[in-house]
């Protein structure tokens, strides 16, 4: 029996000329229904970038809400929030400064590195060289193309009877939007986007030998499992929770980073379209989502100095999950 672990890899390339001078990231704490209403009305009035949750529609009483506010709207947003009496904190004072700090060692060559954010071309070159130099262990497969016509790669790591597939995947329901301009737009139909279709087809084709699915996101320091689209508990809830807690403990043992474990909807917020939910309902029992460092100090702008420790501690959790899967094949 083969064990397949699926990873959603996040690549970050700084190629855009968009700049964010003066933008701030605010953390809001709505404790009244009126506060939730204020946030949603603001989102309809000005261009707010929701970092967590993913949209105004997902905001509920009691949750922490992180939003990036463009500089030109700050005075108005601060006035509205202060008039509402809502608790707020400035988490990032200048987003562009945080972006600039994110890329460290600016004078170093921009070749692929495990401790830097890499461009897609660097990552593609790295995949090719790794597959060529380690052909007995690594192979590369094209499972389709992207919307832009780029190759959609699957990198396969082989060792004895174990396989590690490294890929990417992303049902309209709670947390999704039918508005084409929304960042949580669900598409015109399930798998309407070619990238999602490529992965869905591959997973369905190989589901009989897929034993675990892991997707990696940022941020919040959480290890989540189904369900996110409903508050209903998964049939394997107790086992999934026990494994998540064990994996979180293994992760914490290295640098003391604390992760929260639980099903997506009650642990972070209800959200539809998650690939872990989809994989679980397809029959992949051990389906998990990592929300990596941090808890909002840097948010999506985690400095490069934290890449290595984040990978090291996360790998301990992944190994814990993999060991459990190997001992509990189904």
Encoding tokens for residue 273? 């379209």
Q: Would you call 141 helix, strand, or coil by DSSP?
A: strand
Tell me the pairing of strands 212-218 and 162-167.
Answer: unpaired
Evaluate the CA torsion angle 306, 153, 54, 20 in order and state its sign: positive
Please give the backbone phi and psi of residue 286, each rounded to the nearest 5 degrees, phi first: -90, 85
CA proximity to 157, closest of 278, 300, 3: 3
Q: Would you call 262 exposed, middle or buried from its count of C-beta atoms within 10 A (0-12, 13-18, 19+)? A: middle
Catalytic residue (one of 57, 195, 291, 313) = 291
CA proximity to 61, closest of 17, 29, 90, 21: 29
Bridge partners for 218 per DSSP = 292
Q: Is 291 an active-site residue?
A: yes
Cβ–Cβ contacts within 10 Å for residue 97, how many? 15
What is the number of residues in the chain?
Answer: 330
Is the previous residue joined to 227 through a cis bond, with omega within 30 degrees of 0? yes
Cβ–Cβ contacts within 10 Å for residue 6, how many? 26
CA proximity to 226, closest of 281, 308, 297, 269: 281
Q: Would you call 2 helix, strand, or coil by DSSP?
A: coil
State the catalytic residues. Answer: 291
């Amino acid at each position: 029996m083969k064990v397949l672990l699926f990873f959603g890899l996040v690549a970050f390339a700084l190629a855009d000329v968009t700049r964010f001078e003066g933008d701030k990231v605010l953390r809001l704490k709505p404790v009244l229904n009126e506060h939730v209403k204020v946030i949603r009305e603001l989102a309809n009035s000005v261009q707010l970038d929701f970092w967590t949750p993913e949209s105004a529609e997902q905001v509920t009483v009691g949750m922490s809400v992180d939003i990036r506010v463009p500089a030109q709207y700050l005075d108005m947003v601060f006035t509205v929030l202060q008039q509402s009496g809502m608790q707020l904190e400035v988490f990032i004072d200048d987003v562009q400064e945080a972006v600039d700090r994110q890329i460290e060692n600016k004078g170093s060559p921009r070749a692929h590195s495990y401790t830097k954010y890499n461009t897609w071309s660097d990552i593609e070159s790295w995949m090719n060289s790794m597959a060529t130099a380690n052909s007995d262990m690594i192979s590369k497969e094209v499972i389709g193309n992207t919307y832009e016509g780029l190759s959609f790669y699957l990198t396969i790591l082989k060792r004895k009877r174990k396989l590690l597939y490294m890929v990417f995947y992303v049902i309209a329901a709670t947390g999704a939007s039918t508005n084409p301009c929304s960042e949580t737009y669900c598409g015109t139909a399930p798998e309407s986007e070619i990238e999602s279709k490529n992965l869905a087809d591959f997973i369905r084709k190989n589901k009989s030998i897929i034993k675990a699915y892991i997707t990696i996101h940022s941020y919040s320091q959480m290890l989540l499992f189904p369900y996110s689209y409903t508050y209903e508990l998964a049939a394997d809830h107790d086992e999934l929770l026990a494994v998540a807690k064990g994996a979180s403990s293994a992760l914490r043992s290295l640098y003391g980073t604390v992760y929260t474990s639980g099903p997506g909807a009650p642990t972070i917020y209800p959200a539809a379209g998650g690939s872990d939910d989809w994989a679980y309902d397809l029959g992949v029992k051990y389906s998990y989502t990592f929300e990596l460092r941090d808890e909002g100090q840097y948010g999506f702008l985690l400095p490069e100095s934290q890449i290595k420790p984040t990978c090291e501690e996360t790998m301990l959790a992944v190994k814990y999950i993999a060991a459990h899967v190997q001992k509990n094949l189904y």
